[in-house]
Structure 1
Amino acid sequence: MAKLTKKQKEAVAKVDGNQTYSIKDASALVKDITNVNFDASIDLAVRLGVDPRKANQMVRGVVTLPHGTGKDVKVLALVTPDKESDAKEAGADYVGLDEYLQKIKGGWTDVDVIITMPSVMGKLGPLGRVLGPRGLMPNPKTGTVTMDIAKAVKDVKAGKIDFKVDKTGIIHAAIGKASFDADKIAENANELIQTIIKLKPTAAKGTYIKSIYMSSTMSPSVSVDSKSI
């Protein structure tokens, strides 16, 4: 195991591993223990009492964070010519269709979100092997397959994110940056957690929210008291 630096040791010493913190206190603490020389991402990991292998216990959804993610999200709009101007005016970074399908086929995936139309999805099917593992395949459930291209682009740029429970039963999501005020981090975290709570599958039994941890890039994790939600 690599030795901890002086700053890392100081950060670890500030976190009581036997204590759970309110969202507000956890947000302030994570800011305090973040000591990298760049604007670190703040992440939330929510462990759920579900079995993701069962379709009726899958948890997936979208949420618009009130203060955005702090990240400049690169959006590709795969649209027909009549929708190109809408996508461009809404702020899409890349707009087009066939030329980008060819680029993706060649391995290009330098975007964060792809938004498209129902009529184009047939062309994206063969690219599933490239887009699927990277979480880039558009999906009607997350609002990335729609006829209202402008609204979809604006929503993503404003802080709309999609999340999905992984095979271990955990939802991982970036909820802001270390440069955010602690209150804004807390409000973003609360918005995500409340959305996850609303999506509780009826088939899920027992404790739904098992644990919540907040951390920043390279920082120790801080346990959030789920009872304070």
Structure 2
Amino acid sequence: MASLNQCVASLTRLSLTATTRPVNATIPRFLAPSIVQTRCKSAGTVAMRAREREKEKLKKKKKQHKFKEHKYATPSREEQFSLCDAMRYLRAAEVGRPPSSVTYEIALKIRTPKNSLPLRNRIRLPYPIKNDTRIAVICKEGGDAMHDARAGGAVAFGEDSLFELIRANSNKLPFNRLICHVESEPALKKAGLGRILGPKNLMPSLKTNTITKSVKSLMHEMVGAEVYREKVGAIRMPIGNILFTPKQLSENVKTLVGAVKENITNLEDKVKKDLIEVVLTSSNGPGFSLNGNFGPTDEKIQPLHLSTAM
């Protein structure tokens, strides 16, 4: 009986001791879990490798295209309208609003590389939208340029006196156009008014054609003129009042489009740009892509019907 108890005790001690596992045990590859198994991509056939290369090239091309051009580089896929049809729908969208507060607006979509030289110029439309231009002239006191500015109706003129006026009324300037005579350009640079005039787009410069030798001719050109500038691949500006006739609006659109195309041609040596779409909208209406035609598609509607008050 004692020997039996000793045998049971020995078996009990053996069961309680930790089992030793081999240190350098290797598991066969086919028994290992799928996560542990290393998989190798098949080289594939020649045609498969060619397709993979084409996909990589296409991805790279799309990425470069997206990075280099603005989002307006592709014209919209919406239906296009004639000028009279677009005016008809926009006039319907503005019914009930004061005609004096509603304007037609135009957007010219430009295919252009990012960070390229933007299109900018000043244009005199055949039918001006508004005539509230208030011009100030930087010129020497008592000179011929000052006499021309006074005769042309400038609201302010001079050098030091005008600089002080700008500093004293930086938040509410009494003018919305500022030009500079070439003889006063050094005084303008010395005055250091770029922080005040720059954010308001009033700083005279050769790029904006606001530094001139003839104050009289530039003032005459500015009265009723509009300034356009390309931003984020598009040019947006008012093009007419809601009471304009189709002929008046058409003349303004043609003049602006022609000026922008000429501007693009002049920059061909520096950057490649293309005008790809013209969109007409109003203050509260949707946008209509123009197809270049003038007359309405509905025979019952004539341009004369769009020339009367709403």
What TM-score, normalized by structure 1, do the two folds share?
0.77
- Give the structure 2 partner of residue 47 of structure 1: 109
CA distances 1:136-161 after superposition (whole Å, capped 9, x unpaired)? 1123344321121111111111x222
Contact 1:45/1:171, CA 8 A, preserved across alignment: yes
Aligned equivalents of 2:104 and 2:132: distance in 1?
15
Q: Which runs of 5+ in 1 are unaligned?
A: 1-16
Change (3 A) 1:177 1:92: farther
- Give the structure 2 partner of residue 63 of structure 1: 123
CA distances 1:107-130 after superposition (whole Å, capped 9, x unpaired)? 143422111112223333311122
- Give the structure 2 partner of residue 5 of structure 1: none
Letter of the structure 2 residue corresponding to residue 91 of structure 1: G
Contact 1:118/1:146, CA 8 A, preserved across alignment: yes
Contact 2:83/2:246, CA 8 A, preserved across alignment: no
SS at match of 2:193: helix
Query: Stretches of 4+ moved more than 6 A in 1?
Result: none
SS at match of 1:99: helix
- The question of 1:74 aligning with 2:142 is answered no
Residue of structure 2 aligned with 1:194, choices 236, 244, 258: 258
- Give the structure 1 partner of residue 230 of structure 2: 165
- Give the structure 1 partner of residue 282 of structure 2: 216
Q: Which runs of 5+ in 2 are unaligned?
A: 1-76, 295-310
Give, in angstroms, the shift of residue 217 of structure 1. Answer: 2.3
Change (3 A) 1:76 1:219: farther
SS at match of 1:140: coil
CA distances 1:19-44 after superposition (whole Å, capped 9, x unpaired)? 22234543454344334323323322
Letter of the structure 2 residue corresponding to residue 161 of structure 1: E
Residue of structure 2 aligned with 1:204, choices 256, 262, 272: 272
- Give the structure 2 partner of residue 123 of structure 1: 187
Aligned equivalents of 1:147 and 1:92: distance in 2?
16
Aligned equivalents of 1:170 and 1:95: distance in 2?
35
Change (3 A) 1:93 1:103: closer
Aligned equivalents of 1:145 and 1:176: distance in 2?
28
Change (3 A) 1:115 1:19: same
SS at match of 1:133: coil
What TM-score, normalized by structure 2, do the two folds share?
0.59
Q: Who wins on radius of gyration, i.e. which is larger?
A: 2
Aligned equivalents of 1:110 and 1:221: distance in 2?
34
Contact 1:47/1:211, CA 8 A, preserved across alignment: yes
Q: Which has the higher contact order (CA 8 A, sep 6+)?
A: 1
Aligned equivalents of 1:31 and 1:87: distance in 2?
41
Q: What is the percent sequence identity of the aligned residues?
A: 21
Contact 1:39/1:179, CA 8 A, preserved across alignment: no
SS at match of 2:90: helix
Change (3 A) 1:70 1:211: same
- Give the structure 2 partner of residue 184 of structure 1: 248
Letter of the structure 2 residue corresponding to residue 210 of structure 1: I
Letter of the structure 2 residue corresponding to residue 204 of structure 1: K
- Give the structure 2 partner of residue 3 of structure 1: none
Aligned equivalents of 2:225 and 2:151: distance in 1?
18
RMSD: 2.5
Aligned equivalents of 2:109 and 2:281: distance in 1?
14
In the alignment of these two chains, the number of paired residues is: 206
SS at match of 1:42: strand
Contact 2:93/2:284, CA 8 A, preserved across alignment: no
Change (3 A) 1:115 1:23: farther
